[in-house]
A and B are shown apart, each in its own frame.
Chain A
Amino acid sequence: MPKKSVTISCKNVWKLYGSDPARFLANRNYNPSENDLKQSQYIAAVFDASIDVFKGEILVIMGLSGSGKSSLVRCMTRLIEPTSGEIHFEGSDLLKATEKELIEIRRHKMGMVFQNFALMPHRNVLENIAFPLEVQGVSREKREERAIEIIDLVGLKGREKYYPRELSGGQQQRVGLARSLAVEPNIWFLDEPFSALDPLIRKEMQNEFLRLQNLLNKTIVFITHDFDEAIRLADRIAIMYEGRIVQVGNAEELITNPANEYVAEFTRDIPRAKLLSVGSIMQPAKKSTKNKIVVNKTDKISSVAPSIISSNAVATVVDESGDVCGELTKDQIVDILFADEKNND
């Protein structure tokens, strides 16, 4: 596999609140204990976070409110200044960027979507979407042309002249998506973009988001507090707790191998059958010949369950090249299915 290129890389990022956080952190050699923090009356919004965001992936940062996910993303965009640490964006040190360079980076390379849409109430849809281009100094004709392109893309055709207050929540967030895409950013930050929407609309917007990503293939940092949403959208999930990144991995890794109780608690209510692959629960094969039922190692359990259960036989598991690598019994499947049932009670 070729080495994936890194778009944003965070190394030992800290964000402390208190009277003199920078000095405090230096005095403690950038490694204060939690007790020390508490006693000195500092609050760590981001606690020694290190993470790489790879080009073209959807990284979901997951955590409950107050876990520091918003702070971390605001450090990545320098909406807030981290207390210490390093952040590299496309190879250059973001924290060293001057105010002017930062404005240039934001104008051309970053886009951000906000939880409560953050549309300008005095501008109509077209003007809101063209806003980032307007502040760059793009001519009216060009920016409106581009804005109309994106309006089509997010499915708001015919609403160009509407004001935000005349749109539903879902439509408003489409404007938010469109605005952040207007400058064709290299990295796309989404801060709980669908949390303020009704469940049904949320689902629709998640699909819309996936459709857009299929077309655009952006590098994405997506924040959510909703684990289901994280599973639906993520290539990788980073779970945050009290400012720390507790675990990074894909959904299956988090479920089968949670780093601690906290992560386990999150994953407990998730329907495993749909997420776990055959490979993650299979047993070693007792014989090398194939049984009547053959399943792939990467198949999801929910998709193979019906045939295995109805035939009441042991299934043979094969890998990508078709070689036998394990077997799967009905009991194992039933365990997984009933574990879900039990958790849902």
Chain B
Amino acid sequence: MTESLWERLKQFWFVYPFIALWLLKPITPNWGVIPPKSCLGGCGSIEGMIPFVDWVNNLIAVLRNYEILPGISEGKVGLFTFREFTRYLANLIDIPLDFTEALLYKGFETIPLGPLPWVMILGLVVVLGLYLRGISLAILGGSCVLYLAIFSLRGIWTLSMKTLSAIAVSVPLAVLIGLVLGILGAKFKVVERILNPILNVLQSLPHFSYLILVAIFCGVGAKAGVIATVIFAFPPMTRLTILGLKELSSEIVEAGKMSGCNYWQMLFKVELPGARSALMLGINQVIMQCLAMVVIASFIGQPGLGHDLLARLQNLRLGQAFEIGVAVVFIAITLDRYSQALVLKQPERSREGAFWLRNPYLSGAIVIVVLSVILSFISSAATQLPKEYTISISGYLDLGIKTFTTSLFVPLGIFRDFLLVYFFMPTKAMFQSLPWISVIVLVGCAGWKLGRFKLALTVMFFVFLIAASGYWVRAMITLYMVSVAIIISMGFGIPVGIWASKRLNRTKLVLNICDTFQTFPSFIYLLPAVMLFQISDVSAIFAIVVYASIPITRYTIFGLRNVPSQIIEAAKMSGCSESQLLWKVRMPLAFPEMLLGVNQTLMFALFMVMIAGFIGTVDLSQEIFRALSFNDGGKGLVIGLCVSLIGLTADRLLVEWSNIKKRSYGLKT
């Protein structure tokens, strides 16, 4: 017995140095507890050991004034700076943006043509839904358009059109950039090797880091919003393009070659069409990322739903915020389901006969366009739904929310304060009290255990960078919020996942809910959080938990359902009871998958925690909001990278752990 206890204790050797250092804290010199400030490159404004912020800001200052071309700027002959160049590029975005804005809500100035009538948009969305999947999709799309039109007393229709016009410009741009980079990455190994780390950082960088840099170099407003959105949205397209082209069956490629395709015929007639479903999935992701970012880009003056949602939230006009929130959610679900249907859409055999028989949907669309143009000449009600037909229930909502919160004010308040005092505050204090040296030692030991020297060095280096940046204490508060949220998410998501994995219909139901929740722009989750818990750590953590429970639930289901049926049958024949089956067979085999789920949960939580800074937390996100208001690009980027490093550290460790487990089960070679 003693020996087995000893053996067990030995397995956890990697936490002992950490605990020892923590316990030794009282006698640790101060530089070992809180990262010291150094005087590299002159003391003063420097916040950390290494003045990353100043470096970035110097670089930005240099770039701003760097003269690339002597030329003409702003009407005068003179020098042409880098920033003028980027602003010039940004202005190019205005060309397509002017067009989509005119088409959707402004109307054209030069030609006597108004914006698209709402009946036309309704009709086209319905026909597209019918074409892509059928009546159910058409109903979803139709009711989305109807909601936007009818609940438009406070201008939701126009706001939506503003948002959609930005999306209509961002999506093609992001798809094009992602596609071209993806093709280059698939064709040239070098490009892929360069792209990979860049995409990793881009995908783990919080939204706001982009916003500040974009604002500096490209100004503010709709065009800057589009640029930030494109930068944010293209990485999944690139990844999926590379994946799709690489996974193309070698026989198809050979068949193309043997048919005598040259390079370009190969690319456009064989490879890209062959990778169609991966590309369509990429488009789906780009659309969803664009929507998420367009909402957040309101911080740099992107007009539309996000902007008004933000303003209403700040003024605590929750009823109106709720109406806009529903519009955002409706648009998100519709865009997601439509583009998903596009992914699954197979080419169909065309029918024989007249034009309208062969192309029923196209003919339907033409009829709708013609009819709605005629209608809009007859009555202006067809152009835009008249005000007297639109409604807003925000008054009632406000009332409802008020009664709800006042009646629940006391219990919710008690609940909140209980959590804060007995759970959150102590945890927070614990995280803040950790000496930074001990944290580095902990990740180092864990890295050594999982992946020896290389992994240990990598993760230690990552954590050191955070410490050196001067944002250590803030980072630990972020880590505290994220950790608490992850634990609660797991406590919620894993049981739900277990429950759902037992029957197919439950699995489908829960996965469907997960899908739907995941399409919402993360911003939306602040709404119920603020309604319930006002502004506190609890509401931030609530928002994170709701959002971050999605991946852990999904991965738990996935892991449990993917246990080979033979093994389950073998266990049943060995006489396992239902609970033995779960705890002795299915859970251990699902464990590697669940680790990946935890990893994803952390990523989701990090994204959300940054947005939660908007409702007043004191971690890194607060700093990033400050940076945003002072237009401090260096600070914004460095804090963003800190967040990204937290994510990357956990990602390295958890993925490696999962791989080791999978290999030991023979699930992976």
Q: Which residues of A contact B (CB under 8 A)?
A: 74, 77, 79, 103-104, 106-108, 110-112, 114-124, 131-132, 134-136, 161-163, 165-166, 179-180, 183, 189
B258 near A111: Cβ-Cβ < 8 Å:
yes
Task: Find the A residue at minimum CB distance from B351.
Answer: A161
Question: Can you give 29 contacting A-B residue pairs, CB < 8 Å?
Answer: A79-B258, A103-B260, A103-B262, A106-B260, A107-B260, A112-B254, A112-B255, A114-B254, A114-B255, A116-B251, A118-B251, A118-B252, A118-B254, A120-B252, A120-B255, A120-B273, A122-B274, A122-B347, A123-B273, A132-B260, A135-B262, A161-B349, A161-B350, A162-B349, A163-B346, A163-B349, A165-B346, A166-B349, A183-B260
Given that A122-B276, A165-B346 are contacting pairs, would A116 and B249 also be in contact in the complex, using a CB cutoff of 8 Å?
yes
Known A-B contacts A79-B254, A135-B269; the reply to A179 vs B347 at CB < 8 A is no
Q: Is the CB of B254 within 8 A of A120?
A: no
Find chain B residues with CB under 8 A from A162 CB. Answer: 349
Chain B residues closer than 8 Å to A79, beta-carbon distance: 254, 257-258
Q: Which residues of A contact B249 (CB under 8 A)?
A: 116, 118
**Which of chain B's residues 255-279 have a Cβ closer than 8 Å to chain A?**
255, 257-262, 265, 269-270, 273-274, 276
Q: Which residue of B lies closest to A159 (CB)?
A: B349
* CB within 8 Å for A106 and B255 given contacts A116-B249, A122-B347, A163-B349: no
- Least CB separation from B263: chain A residue: A99
State the CA gap A142–B85 with chains docked (Å): 52
A9 to B255 CA separation, bound complex (whole angstroms): 23
Q: Tell me whether B260 and A104 are in contact (CB under 8 A).
A: yes
A74 smallest CB distance to B (angstroms): 8
Residue of B nearest to A163 (CB): B347
In the complex with contacts A115-B251, A163-B347, A107-B259 CB distance below 8 A: yes
**Do A112 and B258 form a contact, CB below 8 Å, given A120-B252, A124-B347, A165-B346?**
yes
* A119 shortest CB reach to chain B, Å: 8
Name the distance in Å between A31's Cβ and chain B's nearest Cβ: 31
Question: Chain B 459-481 against A: per-residue CB contact (8 Å), 1 yes, 0 no?
Answer: 00000000000000000000000
- Docked CA distance A189–B258 (Å): 10
Docked Cα-Cα span, A207 to B347, in Å, equals 32
A338 to B326: give the CA distance in the assembly, Å.
82
- List residues of B (323-345) whose CB comes within 8 Å of A's CBs: none
**In whole angstroms, how far apart are the Cα atoms of A103 and B258 in the complex?**
8
Quick check: B349 and A122 within 8 Å, CB to CB?
Answer: no
| Chain B facing A: main interface SS | helix
In the assembled complex, the CB of B474 is this many whole angstroms from the nearest CB of chain A, namely: 50
Measured between beta carbons, the chain A residues less than 8 angstroms from B276 are 121-122
Q: Given the complex, which residues of A lie within 8 Å of B260, measured CB to CB?
A: 103-104, 106-108, 132, 135-136, 183
Min CB–CB distance B176 → chain A (angstroms): 21
CB distance from B557 to the nearest CB of A (A): 29
Cα distance A123–B347 in the bound complex, in angstroms: 8
C-alpha gap A120/B254 in the complex (Å): 12
User: Which residues from chain B contact A165 at a C-beta distance below 8 Å?
Assistant: 346
- Interchain CA distance A116-B250 in the complex, whole Å: 10
Q: Nearest Cβ in chain B — how far from A76, in angstroms?
A: 11
Assess the B251–A121 pair: CB atoms within 8 A.
no
Per the bound structure, the CA–CA distance linking A324 and B350 in Å amounts to: 69
CA of A124 to CA of B347 in the docked complex: distance in angstroms? 9
A135 touches B259 (CB 8 A): yes
Closest-by-CB residue of A relative to B259 is A132
Contact assessment for B270 and A106 in the assembled complex, using a CB-CB cutoff below 8 Å:
no
Cα A130 to Cα B273 in complex, Å, equals 16
Q: A120-B274, A165-B346 are in contact. Are A131 and B251 (CB under 8 A)?
A: no
Nearest Cβ in chain A — how far from B143, in angstroms? 32
Asked if residues B274 and A121 are in contact (CB atoms below 8 Å), the reply is: yes
How distant is the Cα of A163 from the Cα of B347 in the complex, in angstroms? Answer: 8
CB of B259 within 8 A of CB of A131, answer yes
Of all A-B residue pairs in the complex, the 8 with the closest CB atoms, nearest first, are A107-B260, A118-B251, A118-B255, A132-B259, A106-B260, A112-B258, A114-B251, A122-B273
A74 to B260, CA, bound (A): 15
**Minimum distance in angstroms from B270 CB to a CB of chain A:** 7
Residue among B254, B259, B346 with the highest chain A CB neighbour number at 10 A: B259
A110 near B262: Cβ-Cβ < 8 Å: no
User: For the complex, what is the distance from the CA of A165 to the CA of B277, rounded to whole Å?
Assistant: 15
Which residues does chain A contribute within 8 Å of B257, judged by CB atoms?
79, 106
Residues of B close to A107: CB separation below 8 A:
259-260
Kindly list chain A residues whose C-beta atoms are within 8 Å of the C-beta of B346: 163, 165
Bound Cα distance A204, B371 (Å): 56
The smallest beta-carbon distance between B107 and chain A, in angstroms, is 39
A156 CB to nearest B CB, Å: 14
Question: Shortest distance in angstroms between A201's beta carbon and chain B's nearest beta carbon?
Answer: 19
* Supplied contacts A104-B260, A132-B260, A163-B347, 4 more A-B pairs, CB within 8 Å: A79-B258, A106-B259, A117-B251, A135-B259
8 Å CB interface, B347-374 against A: 347-350
Q: Nearest Cβ in chain B — how far from A183, in angstroms?
A: 8
Residue of A nearest to B352 (CB): A161
B residues less than 8 Å from A135 (CB atoms): 259-262, 265, 269
Q: How far is the CA of A134 from the CA of B260 in the complex (A)?
A: 10
Cβ contacts under 8 Å, B261 to chain A: 103, 135
In the complex, which residues 610-635 of chain B have their Cβ closer than 8 Å to any Cβ of chain A? none
Closest approach, in angstroms, between the C-beta of A70 and any C-beta of chain B? 10
Which B residues are in CB contact (< 8 Å) with A179?
255, 259
Q: How far is the CA of A131 from the CA of B273 in the complex (A)?
A: 13
Q: How far is the CA of A121 from the CA of B274 in the complex (A)?
A: 7
Residues on the B chain within 8 Å of A119, using CB: 255
Chain B neighbourhood of A163, CB < 8 A: 346-349
Q: How far is the CA of A108 from the CA of B260 in the complex (A)?
A: 8
The closest CB in chain B to the CB of A105 belongs to: B260
Are B270 and A120 in contact (CB-based, < 8 A)? yes
Docked complex Cα distance between A291 and B517 (Å):
92
Q: CA A121 – CA B262 in complex, angstroms?
A: 20
Cα of A166 to Cα of B252 in the assembled complex, Å: 18
User: Whole-angstrom distance between the alpha carbons of A74 and B346 in the complex?
Assistant: 32
A135 to B257, CA, bound (A): 10
Report how far A3 CA is from B262 CA in the complex, Å: 37
B272-307 near A? 1/0 per residue, CB < 8 Å: 011010000000000000000000000000000000
Give bound CA distance, A120 to B349, whole Å: 15
Chain B residues with Cβ below 8 Å from A118 are 249, 251-252, 254-255
In the assembled complex, which residues on chain A have CB atoms less than 8 Å from the CB atom of B274? Answer: 120-122
Verify B269–A106 contact, CB threshold 8 A.
no
A166 to B249 CA separation, bound complex (whole angstroms)? 19
Q: Complex: how many Å from CA A117 to CA B252?
A: 8
